[in-house]
Amino acid sequence: MGCPANDLVRLFGTCLSGRYRQQHWEELLQRFYEYLAEEVGNNKMPFTLDQLKESYRRVLPVGTFLVLATVAAFFDELSNCPDEDKKKEVACQYMQADYNVWK
C-alpha cells in the first residue's frame, strides 16, 4: 500500500475549495478511514487515524505545491490549444501523466 495521504492531498487539492478543505479535512479523513476499515474487514488496519492525520499534515505543503504546479501548467497549455479536439488531447495527456506520477 502506498501513502494514502498523498492521494488525499491530491484529491482534496483538486476537488475542494480551500475554505471547505480547511474546515472539513479532519472529518473527511475520518470518513476515509472508516471506509478503509470496512474494506480491511477483520484484518489489522495498516495505520491509525492519528497516523493518517499526521501524514496528511506532513504531505500537505509539498503535495499542494505539486497540485498547483500541475494545474497551472495544464491551464497554460490548454489556453494555447487551437481547437476543441486538441484541448481534449492535451487534457488526456495531463491526466495520464498525473496518474503515472502518483501511482
Report percent pLDDT > 70 for the chain: 83
Q: State the Cα–Cα distance between residues 64 and 31, nearest whole angstrom.
A: 21
Give the model's pLDDT for residue 30.
98
Q: State the Cα–Cα distance between residues 87 and 102, nearest whole angstrom.
A: 23
Report the range of poorest mean pLDDT among 8-17, 23-32, 89-98. Answer: 89-98
Q: State the Cα–Cα distance between residues 68 and 89, nearest whole angstrom.
A: 21
| Mean pLDDT of the residues in the chain | 83
Mean pLDDT of the region 18-28? 94
Cα 72 to Cα 5, 39, 69: the distances in Å are 22, 35, 5
**pLDDT tens track for 42-81:** 999 999 999 999 999 999 888 776 776 676 677 777 777 7
Residues 6+ apart with CB under 8 A from 98: 70
pLDDT interval class at 24 (50, 70, 90): very high
Write the DSSP string, 6-37: HHHHHHHHHHS-HHHHHHHHHHHHHHHHHHHH
The grid cell for 47 is: 495505520
Contact between 11 and 102 (Cβ < 8 Å): no
